Amino acid sequence: MGNCCRTRRNGDNHYRYVQPHASEVVTAGGAKEPYRSDSKKLTQNLPSPNPRNGDEMILSPHLKVFAFSELINATKYFSPDYLLGEGAFGYVYEGWLNKETLSPVEPESGMPVAIKKLKRLGFQGHMEWLSDVSYLGGLHHRNLVNLIGFCYEGENRLLVSEFMPGGSLEHHLFRRGGEPFSWALRLKVAVEVAQGLAFLHASQSKIIYCDFKSSNVLLDMDYNVKLSVFGLAKADPSGDWSHVTSQITGTEGYTAPEYFAAGRLTTKCDVYSFGIVLLELITGRRAIDYKRVAEEKRLLEWVRTQLRDTKKVFKIMDSRLEGKYSRKAASVVANLALQCCYPEATYRPHMSDVLSILEKIPSPRAFRNKDMSNSKSKINAHSSNGQSNGHDHQHESAADMVHH
């Protein structure tokens, strides 16, 4: 379930980002709790994310069952003023709940949540919703958006999740006029995204994100990353689940070639998509941009042509960084991204290996307490003004470059 940092002004969506400052030196993967400790929670026998029939539901005791009337009140009758976005299966609204009782409250007076209202699209849409409730409600990780509850009343199917006020990575990377992410912040985002995907892949049945892209990477007010996974989880055919949907649900520019061509879905498809997002992070370019000249429309193809000499990584770096990045670290990230995007899935690294490499890259510290407080206060002030939320095999491996 995606949402963005939306601000309301005369019915228009408005955005603002406050750039933190870089200082001190720490590792990009300086999180106190590595993803491996969280992955142990997935060794239990979890229900399938693809229930065998439309009536099967396995509920998590941590989820609240909402009445439809409660969600009507939380969104002011699903007012367009609270609309955050629209996906293939439904609309996402901002709503407000009491933090303790989870009952609806007046806007700005409680806890903001994201409410996904399923379109009436028949069995397929219902199965997506059922998958979210019966399976993803039991997943808990600091880099996954938390599901709070659901509504199953008549023909109404809704999901309630935590609200991510920082918006999507896609928005921050590609909007016009905003202050760009620093190199340190880009590394932080890359590490935390890798942690979320590695956690999913480390499950007993290997959960596959399937349609990973920068718009599904969400940020909180501290610029911490959480992945929006609702409705996207699939099972690796090598896992315990025998059923994997044959419908191609990927997005052009992000989808692994073997999945796009033959519907072959494995965790390596996520690795490919992650590689594309990693290239977006360092170049500031979209995976596909039809506004560019022909040879630059497809990001991966353009990067491959530019990095025939891996020492010339500066040729692909986002000019908005103004050269404020480590040339060696940028080379590692660029080559790692290309390794993730090998045409043959066999040659791609596992997400656990990708995470290990990223965590070893030295990075300027993205945040100090003072800087973070300033960023928060500016965002809060803004909201309170009535405005809301395969390259060639000859390349040196990224792992080798880290150790050189």
Can you count the helices (H) and strands (E) in the chain? 12, 15
Residue 371: closest CA among 184, 222, 183, 178:
222
Phi first, then psi, for residue 245 (nearest 5°) are -55, 140
Kindly compute the dihedral angle of the four CA atoms of residues 146, 250, 319, 389, in this order, to the nearest 10 degrees. Answer: -40
Residue 164: count other Cβ atoms within 10 Å of its Cβ.
26
Helix (H) or strand (E) holding 146: none
Exposure class string for 206-243: b at 16+ Cβ within 10 A, else e: bbbbbbbbbbbbbbbbebbbbbbbbbbbbbbeebebee
Phi first, then psi, for residue 11 (nearest 5°) are 85, -5
Dihedral over Cα of 395, 399, 400, 404: its sign:
positive
d(CA 203, CA 189): 22
Dihedral over Cα of 105, 100, 139, 340: its sign:
positive
Kindly compute the dihedral angle of the four CA atoms of residues 331, 334, 340, 343, in this order, to the nearest 10 degrees. Answer: -110
Residue 85: closest CA among 110, 115, 41:
115
Give the residue numbers marked as catalytic: 211
Residue 32 annotated as binding site: no
Give the residue numbers of the binding site. Answer: 117
Give the residue numbers of the binding site for ATP. Answer: 117
